């Protein structure tokens, strides 16, 4: 039995986190994950603090990535990125006031050129543990009791592993948890996440939990991560795309219970249509169809007919056309 995770006073039970993922971990996806159960904490897609700051100054509406956040159940964390302490602190304080999230997560792991190289933020900051500490301290002070966490990678490269220093800087600055994606910045998404390196950080943290992340694909992988690497929590990203029920499978494994069966094809069909309905609620029919394609293809991945599903779903424009394609591929008799 794995104990629940506590982030400052916040219980994360089960200790499984749904990863922030731009383009995917939106309101619709989070709603399905929450309904299926098993994820103890969900996170928004990352938001540029500078962008939010500029929008607030212009009096613009909240960006799309904050859609649904106000009324959504908790626990829910909002993730932001920047490298300027004043901007991050001001934006975090405003988010706390307006949305009352369960926590604010700071992104120090994004390797994308626009974030890391151009804006010298995200994973760029892994070479500057002191700067990470300064950012965490300023944001923590601005958030008045709302926990501030950090998501990092192992370091800039295999020859420059800084995760322990960065994690310690987060702890010393008053951060409440650190999540480590077991890749280096220069790996982007290549190679494999190195969980041995994640485990090496654990003895250097005195107060805050360590959450491991990277390449976890099954409930057995999750159980193995806790057993072998001594992490306090596990974050799952890509493997839950198209399989939002993975969290409840993993939660059962952590309780030592049999893993519940995958949803049947008709249940998956219902989930897909619900996923689409939630996207329509947010985006309207036209843009929802665009958004849905990439998510829907994940559900079909590895199933017979995935390729024709992809081709057909990429041509649909309305809810009716979409339902017809989903019906054809997720018809009950197909799996019988
Ligand atoms: C499409 C995509 C978008 C992502 N967006 C974010 C993000 O907004 N913030 C973040 O911290 N990490 C982001 N990540 C990284 C994931 O949170 C996670 O660390 C990574 O995918 C490794 O975990 P996994 O192997 O379980 O997917 C993203 C990853 C993908 C594939």
Q: Which atom of ligand 1 is nearest to the CA of 181?
A: 19
DSSP-derived secondary structure letter, 110: -
Q: Is residue 260 part of a domain?
A: no
Considering only CA atoms, which of 101, 104, 102 is closest in space to residue 81? 104
What's the rounded Cα separation, in Å, for the pair 310 and 68? 28
Q: Is residue 59 part of a domain?
A: yes
Q: What is the pLDDT of residues 288-328, one digit of tens each?
A: 888 888 889 999 988 888 999 999 998 887 888 888 999 99
- Long-range contacts made by residues 72-75, C-beta under 8 angstroms, separation at least 24? 72/27, 72/30, 72/31, 73/34, 74/101, 74/102, 75/10, 75/12, 75/40, 75/41, 75/42, 75/102, 75/103
Q: What is the pLDDT of residues 43-77, one digit of tens each?
A: 999 999 999 999 999 999 999 999 999 999 999 99
Pocket test for ligand 1, best of 17, 18, 19, 241 (most atoms within 8 A of CB): 19
49 and 141 in a single domain? The answer is yes
Reported as a pLDDT band with limits 50, 70 and 90, residue 242 is: very high
320 CA distance to ligand 1 centroid (A)?
Answer: 32
222 and 285 in a single domain? The answer is no
Q: Is residue 132 part of a domain?
A: yes
Reported as a pLDDT band with limits 50, 70 and 90, residue 175 is: very high
From residue 5, give the alpha-carbon distance in Å to each of 27, 57, 110, 120, 278.
Answer: 24, 38, 25, 32, 30
250 and 305 in a single domain? The answer is no
69 and 148 in a single domain? The answer is yes
236 and 285 in a single domain? The answer is no
From residue 284, give the alpha-carbon distance in Å to each of 277, 289, 292, 318.
Answer: 9, 9, 12, 10
The predicted pLDDT at position 334 comes to: 43
Q: Is residue 287 part of a domain?
A: yes
What's the CATH number where 291 sits? 1.10.1200
151 and 275 in a single domain? The answer is no
The predicted pLDDT at position 332 comes to: 60
282 and 306 in a single domain? The answer is yes
Number of residues that this document lists for the chain = 336
Q: Is the pLDDT of residue 167 over 60?
A: yes
237 CA distance to ligand 1 centroid (A)?
Answer: 6
Mark which of 254, 289, 315 sits at the end of a domain: 254
What's the CATH number where 42 sits? 3.20.20.70
Q: Is residue 118 part of a domain?
A: yes
160 and 299 in a single domain? The answer is no
The predicted pLDDT at position 333 comes to: 55
Q: Which protein residue's CA is at the shortest distance from atom 13 of ligand 1? A: 21
Structural domain range at position 282: 265-335
Average pLDDT score over residue span 162-184: 98
Q: What is the pLDDT of residues 264-273, one digit of tens each?
A: 999 999 999 9
The predicted pLDDT at position 317 comes to: 78
166 and 309 in a single domain? The answer is no
Mean pLDDT of the chain: 95
- For the ranges 82-96, 190-204, 303-317, the lowest mean pLDDT is seen at 303-317
Within 10 A of 290 (CB to CB), how many other CB atoms are there?
Answer: 12
Q: Is the pLDDT of residue 241 over 50?
A: yes
DSSP-derived secondary structure letter, 177: E
pTM over 0.95: yes
Average pLDDT score over residue span 195-205: 98
In total, how many domains does the chain have?
2
321 CA distance to ligand 1 centroid (A)?
Answer: 31
27 and 129 in a single domain? The answer is yes
Using DSSP's 3-state secondary structure scheme, residue 331 falls into coil
Mark which of 224, 254, 284 sits at the end of a domain: 254
DSSP-derived secondary structure letter, 318: S
Percentage of the chain exceeding pLDDT 90: 87
DSSP-derived secondary structure letter, 8: T
214 lines ligand 1 (CB under 6 A): yes
Q: Is residue 249 part of a domain?
A: yes
Q: Where are the alpha helices (DSSP H) in the chain?
A: 27-36, 49-58, 85-99, 113, 129-142, 163-172, 195-201, 219-229, 246-254, 265-283, 285-300, 306-313, 319-329, 332-335
Q: Is residue 228 part of a domain?
A: yes
212 lines ligand 1 (CB under 6 A): no
Mark which of 193, 220, 254 sits at the end of a domain: 254
End-to-end CA distance of the chain: 35
Handedness of CA 255, 259, 261, 262 (dihedral sign): positive
Token readout for 316 is: 């649909």
Q: Which residue has the higher pLDDT, 331 or 6?
A: 6
333 CA distance to ligand 1 centroid (A)?
Answer: 35
Q: What is the pLDDT of residues 118-150, one digit of tens each?
A: 999 999 999 999 999 999 999 999 999 999 999
156 and 281 in a single domain? The answer is no
79 lines ligand 1 (CB under 6 A): yes
Q: Is residue 259 part of a domain?
A: no
What's the rounded Cα separation, in Å, for the pair 176 and 136? 10
Active site members: 110
The predicted pLDDT at position 330 comes to: 87
């Amino acid at each position: 039995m794995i104990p629940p995770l506590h982030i400052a006073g916040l219980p994360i039970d089960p200790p499984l986190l749904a990863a922030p993922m731009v383009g995917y971990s939106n309101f619709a996806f989070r709603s399905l994950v929450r309904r299926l159960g098993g994820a103890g904490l969900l996170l928004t897609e990352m938001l540029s603090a500078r962008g939010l700051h500029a929008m607030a100054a212009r009096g613009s509406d909240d960006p799309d990535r904050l859609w649904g956040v106000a009324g959504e159940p908790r626990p829910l964390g909002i993730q932001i990125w920047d490298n300027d302490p004043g901007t991050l602190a001001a934006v975090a304080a405003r988010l706390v006031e307006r949305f009352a999230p369960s926590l604010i997560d700071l992104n120090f792991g994004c390797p994308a050129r626009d974030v890391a190289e151009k804006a010298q933020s995200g994973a760029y900051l892994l070479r500057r543990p002191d700067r990470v500490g300064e950012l965490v301290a300023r944001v923590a002070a601005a958030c008045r009791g709302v926990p501030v966490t950090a998501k990092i990678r192992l370091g800039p490269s295999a020859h420059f592993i800084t995760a322990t220093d960065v994690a310690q800087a987060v702890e010393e600055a008053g951060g409440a948890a650190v999540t480590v994606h077991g890749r280096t910045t220069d790996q982007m998404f290549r190679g494999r996440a190195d969980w041995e390196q994640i485990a090496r950080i654990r003895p250097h943290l005195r107060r805050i939990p360590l959450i491991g992340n990277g390449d976890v694909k099954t409930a057995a992988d999750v159980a193995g991560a806790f057993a072998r690497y001594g992490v306090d929590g596990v974050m799952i990203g890509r493997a839950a795309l198209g399989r939002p029920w993975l969290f409840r499978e993993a939660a059962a494994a952590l309780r030592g219970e049999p893993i519940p069966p995958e949803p049947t094809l008709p249940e998956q069909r219902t989930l897909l249509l619900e996923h689409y309905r939630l996207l329509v609620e947010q985006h309207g029919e036209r843009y929802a169809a665009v958004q849905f394609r990439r998510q829907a293809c994940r559900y079909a991945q590895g199933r017979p007919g995935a390729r024709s599903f992809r081709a057909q779903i990429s041509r649909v424009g309305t809810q009716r056309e979409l339902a017809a394609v989903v019906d054809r591929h997720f018809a009950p008799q197909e799996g019988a």
